[in-house]
Amino acid sequence: MHGTTLQRASRQTRDLVATGYRFYVPNYKPRQMILDYGEGSRLYDLDGNAYIDLGAGIGVNALGHGHAALVKALTDQAGRLWHTSNIYFTAPAVHLARELVEASGFAARVFFCNSGGEANEAAIKLIRKWAAARGKQPHEREIITFKGAFHGRTLATVTATVQPRYQQGFEPLPAGFVHCEAFNDEDALAALMSDNTAAVMLEPIQGEGGVIPAKPGFLKWVRALCDCHGALMVLDEVQCGMGRTGKLWCHMWEEGLKPDILTSAKALGGGFPIGAMLAGPTVAEVLQFGSHGSTFGGNPMACAAARVVLHHVCTPELMDNVRARGAQLHRALEAFKAGHAVFSEVRGRGLMIGAALAPPWHGRAAELMEAAREKGVLILQAGPDVLRFLPPLNITAADLEEGLERLAAAIAQFVANA
């Protein structure tokens, strides 16, 4: 097991990093490197350093970097038409809408936007519009979300996000959200349901909250509870959808389950910004002319890319790879857990895996993430105590093995230096 030795930052890199820190709003802390280009599951910086990418742009680059079919689709579309607005139809958007609806197994219509936050914002507006159309007063349009959830950064979606660190300083927050303090707890949710509940909104696997899957049967139980109370079931599959777990949508592991609304983004465009809200028959006709919109939603460039991603994700070959590589990753992390006792739990599904740090290492996920980068492998965190792995869905066994070898070297050094 070995890592790699990174070349020292060049003057060009140092100057660009300094310029970025000077002119960016300081809400991010980018690593002191300048990524230059990518090939498959590898990224290269300006100084010639090569990295195994086990984060895929936070689950965005589903087909890796420089995928030939994606490059061709974008290049061909770039030579034809970039943008028209939603005053007009374009062929890529029309085809993608039909293909998403047909592949979804439940949806009747789709709304296009540009991100997961926008898709969830559209879902929230749709819920309230649907409740209003049923004669519900504003206080009867409550949306229940769960502790640990992450639904976006707009004021409405950050309110739906039950994580105070994302909300502090942005008060007053919008009304109409009820927070369930216990994910996967039937009794806790049932106690909150009332005649004022318009919808329950949740992630089948909580991503930013620590890669926490819904326990078997929980989603179906939520569906039945919503039906009992006349409420909508809304699934945020921005991170866990688009093949990430080995099926097109994560909720498909619960056979026969159908939500009323599903949101998608991240991997949908393979790296090109696009979001989508899929609406089932109960709510498909609610947003009538003028009720909602998006200037760039349904952009033909984004839709051309998304069609390629959807096609590949729906192939048995890619889904078999997700399951096989997911098992490979899970085994390796369990071995690290046994060998170094740095992890207390490995959880997730497919290529959405979280490794929770053991108590002696709590709060140090960012340090370990940086140690991994210095060994030539890029990983993520999900809060201060969890390492998160979201590799490209088409990562090869060899690339994943090399990335895990580099990670093993990083963990060994990290533990030795603690």
Average pLDDT over residues 246-263: 98
Asked if residue 3 is part of any domain, the answer here is no
Asked which of 313, 339, 373 is the last residue of a domain, the reply is: 313
Using pLDDT thresholds of 50, 70 and 90, give the confidence band for residue 164.
Answer: confident
Q: In this structure, is the dihedral angle defined by the CA atoms of residues 21, 26, 30 and 35, taken in order, positive or negative?
A: negative
Both 304 and 333 in one domain: the answer is no
Asked if residue 4 is part of any domain, the answer here is no
Both 229 and 87 in one domain: the answer is yes
Instruction: Report the mean per-residue pLDDT for the chain.
Output: 96
With 60 as the cut, is the pLDDT of residue 1 above it?
Answer: no
- Each residue's pLDDT tens digit, 343-359: 999 999 999 999 999 99
Residue 12: in which H helix or E strand, if any? helix 11-23
In the chain, the percentage of residues whose pLDDT exceeds 90 is 94
CATH of the domain at 280: 3.40.640.10
Both 406 and 323 in one domain: the answer is yes
Token pair belonging to 261 = 């609304």
Q: What is the pLDDT of residue 2?
A: 58
Q: What is the pLDDT of residue 208?
A: 95
Q: What is the pLDDT of residue 7?
A: 87
Identify the domain containing residue 276 by its residue range: 69-313
Average pLDDT over residues 131-160: 96
Average pLDDT over residues 256-267: 98
Asked which of 246, 281, 313 is the last residue of a domain, the reply is: 313
Q: What is the pLDDT of residue 5?
A: 76
Average pLDDT over residues 8-26: 94
Both 410 and 270 in one domain: the answer is no
Both 379 and 297 in one domain: the answer is no
C-beta atoms surrounding 17 within 10 Å: 16
In the chain, the percentage of residues whose pLDDT exceeds 70 is 99
As for how many domains the chain has, the answer is 2
Asked if residue 58 is part of any domain, the answer here is yes
Using the structure block, give the residue that is written with the tokens 């680059």: 61
Average pLDDT over residues 168-186: 95
Both 184 and 224 in one domain: the answer is yes
Q: What is the pLDDT of residue 287?
A: 96
The C-alpha atoms of residue 314 and residue 96 are separated, in whole angstroms, by 13
Both 142 and 220 in one domain: the answer is yes
Both 383 and 269 in one domain: the answer is no
Average pLDDT over residues 200-219: 98
Asked which of 297, 313, 329 is the last residue of a domain, the reply is: 313
Both 114 and 56 in one domain: the answer is no
- Each residue's pLDDT tens digit, 32-46: 999 999 999 999 999
- Each residue's pLDDT tens digit, 273-317: 999 999 999 999 999 999 999 999 999 999 999 999 999 999 999
Average pLDDT over residues 47-56: 97
Both 95 and 45 in one domain: the answer is no
Both 349 and 243 in one domain: the answer is no
Nearest to 312 by CA among 82, 55, 91, 99: 99
Both 130 and 223 in one domain: the answer is yes
Write the DSSP string, 41-88: TEEEETT--EEEESSHHHHT-TT-BS-HHHHHHHHHHHTT-S---TTS
CATH of the domain at 342: 3.90.1150.10
Asked if residue 390 is part of any domain, the answer here is yes
Q: What is the pLDDT of residue 394?
A: 98
Average pLDDT over residues 321-343: 95
205: helix, strand or coil: strand
Q: What is the pLDDT of residue 370?
A: 96
With 90 as the cut, is the pLDDT of residue 418 above it?
Answer: no
With 50 as the cut, is the pLDDT of residue 417 above it?
Answer: yes
Asked if residue 6 is part of any domain, the answer here is no
Asked if residue 272 is part of any domain, the answer here is yes
